[in-house]
A and B are shown apart, each in its own frame.
Chain A
Amino acid sequence: MQSKNENQTVSASGIRHPESGIQTPASRNYLFDKPRNVKVLLGCFYVSLLVLLIVELFVHKHPHFAWEEWPEFYAVYGFVACVVLVVAAKYILRPLVKRRENYYD
């Protein structure tokens, strides 16, 4: 991720609360500050994906449409739909509609 921290209120000694101005130490470690925890979370996620793929094979379906019977239809559709969504939004829609923030002023 690109991080754009222009407006960040971090100072060397810690972080200033925008309303109260209270300084709290920045050194405290939170849940996802440890890379290991992020890895564990992602690991659990990937395992659950696998479990879902396997479970689906044993589910008895009663579909409205023929393609709902295809193995892993929803998984593939969900993945493809989101990739298409993001790619279309980024490479087609954004170049068309993006303007500077004060465009209407």
Chain B
Amino acid sequence: MIDPIPPVILFMAGALLVPFLRGRWKSGLMLLIPVLGFINLVRLEEGTYWVVPFLDYQLIFGRVDRLSLLFGYIFHIISFIAILYALHVKDDLQRVAGLAYAGSALGAVFSGDLFSFFVFWEMLTVSSIFLIWARRTEAALASGFRYLLVHAAGGLCLLAGIVLHVNQTGDIAMGFLGLNGPGSYLIFLGFGLNCAWPILHPWLTDAYPEATITGTIFLSAFTTKVAVYALARSFPGTEALIWIGAVMTAFPIFYAVIENDLRRVLAYSLINQVGFMVCGIGIGTGLAINGAVCHAFNDILFKALLFMSMGAVMYRTGKINGTDLGGLYRTMPLTCIFCMVGAASISAFPLFSGFVSKSMVMDAAASGHMRIIWFMLLFASAGVFHHAGIKIPYFAFFSHDSGLRPKEAPIHMLLAMGIAAFLSVFIGVYPAPLYNLLPYPVEYVPYTAPHVVGQTQLLFFSALAFTLLLLSGIYPAEMRCINLDADWFYRKGGRLFYRLMARTLNPLNEVCERWVAGGLVRGLAGLAKDIIARSALFVMVNIWIVAGWRGEHLRMKKLNLYADMMGGTCPVGLGAASAAAFLALIFVLMH
């Protein structure tokens, strides 16, 4: 047996190899990579591997501990699922981007120093952008550019933070940082941008729904979860995160209720779920951190499942707006069932995966006597059921009959959804294997009578509220519209900036053109053309007049001198003489 290799290498090698294969070989290799990677990962023992000296520092490409391993496992699982789901796609751009994206995420979670982490962090952005652009629509292109600019800004912020931090401490290890000093604040903010913190979040809800059907599955899994990993690694127990997380859970659900594009509804609920993780990391107790990373593991599965089911609907009907869909359970029953499994999981129904992880964060908040936080999280739990749990399946598969009778999703999509659905239920029913992988020992018991009854009550009465509001007509109808979000500031602000610059800089440019290019430069050029000849004339004519030259002779001498100067045909002695005179002048002036 060969020794384990860095997980990122397998994926990157695959990404390079894929374009050169054809047909079944290509699909086979794509599916084989995560499988091989998983075997490779299972053989990795905890420890530090692949240390590369670089200048005065040590780059670590394999810091393997329980935290990075857990993210490593789920990234391999979701890569397999996403690749299986995307088997029909005949676009090498997406295949390569998907593999490179997954590889970068693995590189980031296993890197033990800030330098290599930063490089993988940026590779995440660069590779993921192609999953958005590959949709090849104008909206996707524009959205991709905004995504790129926002992430470039976030990346620079992180880089500045790393430079300051290394300058301050001389240490590049990627470990606990905590908030101390400007460097750590910038790093914190850089992580936060990828984590979709409130106000920094619109790149996510803007770009994910514009990506390709299969690209969104990759996107939903990696960028935000790597950020969650980074926060769990470097900022556990940072109090600010508790409040940031709680706000993240609460505000997107309002948007999700009135949003028409169902993939955008899921993007909002993604922020909501990441909020639970951020909040758990902020609380920072063993239970809370366990809850946060456990929820990240589950969320990757059920969020991908929901995106896959909506993707299948989009693939078959070409539509994704709630206003255009409805009644699809008739001809897409399996997709409908998988979607409902995802919905039940994200809503944390007992026996589904969300139940065994989200409640750990809730419990940690309660143990810390954080009343307001606890109420906000409970509100978000009810709300997430409302928009992701009921709204998504209801408006796509039930509701009014849209008249669409599409075929069931293709077999590979059903398989991919089936695997994700199976895992979501399996973890929900039998959480012990996952609990054994968590960073801290788990004493938490999710299935107690009051917890099960309380949670079921919460969800069922949310459902009752939905039913009654719908029947009474109060529930907001889906509308063809867009809802403004924090991206307004840079989308409109960017345009304002552009106009402002055009208004001020263009006239300035014209004035400069007229006065500098037209006036000053022309004058200077004219002057420079014969200034030497003219000054020579000025000197010589005076000398000649003193010497007694007059009339026609003087005119001839002037003409000859001018022609000689312009033609550069003066005798060498003259040049030497003037140089000597100049030096003499300098000598005289200096003494």
Q: Which positions in A face B, CB cutoff 8 Å?
A: 1-5, 7-10, 15, 17-20, 24, 26, 30-32, 42, 45, 48-49, 52-53, 55-56, 59-65, 68, 72-79, 81-83, 85-90, 93-94, 96-101, 103-104
Number of interface residues of B (CB under 8 A): 68
| Contact yes or no, B481 A101, CB < 8 A | yes
| Contact yes or no, A99 B481, CB < 8 A | yes
Given contacts A9-B403, A32-B398, A89-B254, contact A56 B382 (CB under 8 A): no
Task: Write out the residue numbers on chain A whose beta carbons fall within 8 Å of the beta carbon of B454.
Answer: 56, 68, 73-74
| Contact yes or no, A86 B458, CB < 8 A | no
Task: Write out the residue numbers on chain B whose beta carbons fall within 8 Å of the beta carbon of A90.
Answer: 257-258, 474-476
Q: How far is the CA of A76 from the CA of B399 in the complex (A)?
A: 26
Q: How far is the CA of A5 from the CA of B399 in the complex (A)?
A: 12
Q: Which positions in B face A, CB cutoff 8 Å?
A: 253-255, 257-258, 316-319, 323-324, 326, 329-330, 363, 366-367, 369, 371, 374, 378-379, 382-383, 386, 398-400, 402-407, 448-450, 453-467, 469-470, 474-485, 491-492
Task: Write out the residue numbers on chain A whose beta carbons fall within 8 Å of the beta carbon of B466.
Answer: 82, 86
Q: How far is the CA of A75 from the CA of B258 in the complex (A)?
A: 24
User: For B319, B374, B449, B467, which residue has the most chain A Cβ atoms within 10 angstroms?
Assistant: B449
| Contact yes or no, A1 B399, CB < 8 A | yes
What are 24 inter-chain pairs, A to B, with CB distance below 8 A?
A: A1-B399, A2-B477, A3-B326, A5-B402, A15-B403, A15-B404, A31-B330, A55-B453, A59-B449, A60-B450, A72-B457, A75-B460, A77-B382, A78-B459, A79-B465, A82-B461, A85-B379, A86-B257, A86-B466, A86-B474, A86-B476, A94-B258, A96-B484, A104-B491
| Contact yes or no, B463 A1, CB < 8 A | no
| Contact yes or no, A18 B483, CB < 8 A | no
| Contact yes or no, B398 A79, CB < 8 A | no
Task: Write out the residue numbers on chain A whose beta carbons fall within 8 Å of the beta carbon of B455.
Answer: 74
Given contacts A15-B404, A61-B450, contact A1 B476 (CB under 8 A): no
Given contacts A64-B367, A82-B386, A82-B465, contact A49 B460 (CB under 8 A): yes
Task: Write out the residue numbers on chain B whose beta carbons fall within 8 Å of the beta carbon of A93.
Answer: 254-255, 258, 483
| Contact yes or no, B481 A79, CB < 8 A | no
Residue of A nearest to B390 (CB): A82
- Given A5-B403, A9-B403, A104-B491; 20 other pairs, CB 8 A cutoff: A1-B470, A8-B402, A15-B404, A32-B398, A42-B467, A49-B461, A52-B453, A52-B456, A52-B460, A61-B450, A65-B374, A72-B457, A73-B454, A78-B458, A82-B386, A85-B257, A85-B379, A94-B483, A98-B484, A103-B484
Task: Write out the residue numbers on chain B whose beta carbons fall within 8 Å of the beta carbon of A97.
Answer: 255, 258, 483-485
Given contacts A7-B319, A98-B479, contact A74 B407 (CB under 8 A): no
Given contacts A90-B474, A93-B258, contact A85 B403 (CB under 8 A): no
Task: Write out the residue numbers on chain B whose beta carbons fall within 8 Å of the beta carbon of A103.
Answer: 482, 484
A-B interface, 5 closest residue pairs, ranked by CB to CB distance from nearest: A82-B465, A64-B366, A78-B461, A3-B400, A10-B403
Task: Write out the residue numbers on chain A whose beta carbons fall within 8 Å of the beta carbon of B470.
Answer: 1
- Distance in Å from the Cβ of A81 to the closest Cβ of chain B? 4
- Distance in Å from the Cβ of A94 to the closest Cβ of chain B? 5
| Contact yes or no, B484 A99, CB < 8 A | yes
Given contacts A20-B407, A24-B405, contact A81 B254 (CB under 8 A): no
